[in-house]
Amino acid sequence: MEKKRKGNWRGGAWVSLFSILIGALILLLGSGKAEEGRFVYTVRVEGIISASSADFMVSSIKRAQRDGAEALVIELDTPGGLDISMREILKEMLGSSVPVIVYVFPGGSRAASAGVFITLAAHIAAMAPGTNIGAAHPVNMGGEKMDKTMAQKVVNDAAAYIRSIAQQRGRNVKWAEEAVRKSVSVTEKQALELHIIDLVSPTLGDLLSKIDGRTVKTPQGTVVLHTKGANVRQLEMSFRDKVLKVISDPTIAYIFLILGFYGLFFELSNPGAILPGIVGGIFLILAFFAFHSLPVNYAGLLLIIFAMILFLAEVKVMSHGLLTVGGIISMLLGSLMLIESPVPSLSISRLVILVAVVITAGFFAFVVTKGIRIQMKKPTTGKEGLVGEVGVVRTRIDPEGQILVRGEIWTAFCEVPVEVGQKVRVLDLVGLKLKVEKV
């Protein structure tokens, strides 16, 4: 009986110990899952705010909401960009259920123009030491001059928009309006003092520690941030966005345009080549796709198209270089006008334009020179090729006889008798007989 009790006690002890171990394991796994479940997405946005930037940022915000991230941190460094792209980003930020943190980072970065709007629209705005924000005065990205009335309308619209954003996020409304109307700009320390941003932080880890426990308002309600110790996951651009970003560069789009026209030019000059036409068509499609997201001056585009028409006409109609000169002038003017923007990042490289025009001018100058030389060259076949040739008399000409000219024996006639062995010059071809004169 005593042995039975001891056995039962031992069995119960083992069961209890096993239960404790299982419980501890569950708690550890549960806490590990909870820790693993807390994560923050980060994205890096550099350069101009374009269609590719807008697509990337909008898709990142949507993914953060879908995956249940604690927050989305946008590391920003931009000189500005397109108004339409900026507004797409702001709509998604203002309607996001996941807190969006804009972090002007690293040192030396800036949030200018459209970057000011994006920073002010963040649930939490932060800057790294050595950064600046401001200069949000709207400019016509297409480079065209606006009259005074239109310019005032654009400024008033931008000022009202940034006031609305600053009020919604509880930031300095007065400074925000001055950034638009007067293009004021401040450092990160001044921005913190003026209540433009929420904090200054040297690193991302320090930023996530400082904002931990803060409360932000979203359209779906109040959210408490739990970012300290959360996993940081970097979101990268998709292949499509990377391709769009590359071809949206004005210089790259211009190169595609020129290469596309060259391809079509060689196809039309040599029908049946096929490959130049296919490659040219692909380049043109990529160029026009890029122009869809760029501030294109269509007068410049038409001038470039007109230049290519003139170059093609030069091959078909010999104008002794006049069409080529007109094409070069048209191409140069069109290239300079195509995308002319106050933002350097939205302008075509002048060096690329110069190289493209010089190569084109050199190529067609070569073609025209060869064409003129061919026109001026003496014919070598047919009637024109025989006239002027010198031959030797084989049988006496009086008034007809035979001569040897260019290795061929011809019947010839002359107004005066010519003896065998003497030389005669061909004056004309009459039927199958040569009219000659004595040399």
Per annotation, catalytic residue among 153, 174, 217, 242: 153
Q: Is 153 a catalytic residue?
A: yes
Three-state secondary-structure class, residue 405: strand
Q: What is the DSSP letter of 97?
A: S
Q: Is the CB of residue 140 less than 8 Å from the CB of residue 146? A: yes
Smallest CA-to-CA distance from 59 within 188, 288, 230, 237 is with 237
Where does 270-297 have alpha helices with state H?
275-291
CB atoms within 10 A of CB 40: 24
Cross-strand pairs, 199: 126
Q: Is 113 a catalytic residue?
A: yes
- At a CB cut-off of 8 Å and minimum separation 6, what does 262 contact? 276, 280
CB atoms within 10 A of CB 337: 19
Please identify which residue in the block is written with the tokens 């996993």: 231
Smallest CA-to-CA distance from 411 within 420, 423, 400, 398 is with 400
Smallest CA-to-CA distance from 367 within 270, 301, 282, 283 is with 270
Can you say how many angstroms the Cα of residue 1 is from the centroid of all Cα atoms in its chain? Answer: 90
Per annotation, catalytic residue among 60, 85, 96, 113: 113
Smallest CA-to-CA distance from 104 within 144, 75, 65, 141 is with 75
Helix axis angle, 350-376 to 322-338, nearest 10°:
170
Can you say how many angstroms the Cα of residue 398 is from the centroid of all Cα atoms in its chain? Answer: 81
Detail the DSSP E strand segments found in 18-80: 39-46, 71-77
Q: Is the CB of residue 335 less than 8 Å from the CB of residue 306? A: no
Three-state secondary-structure class, residue 376: helix
Sequence length of the chain is: 439
Helix axis angle, 51-67 to 83-94, nearest 10°:
10
Please identify which residue in the block is written with the tokens 């269509």: 298
Enumerate the active-site residues.
113, 153
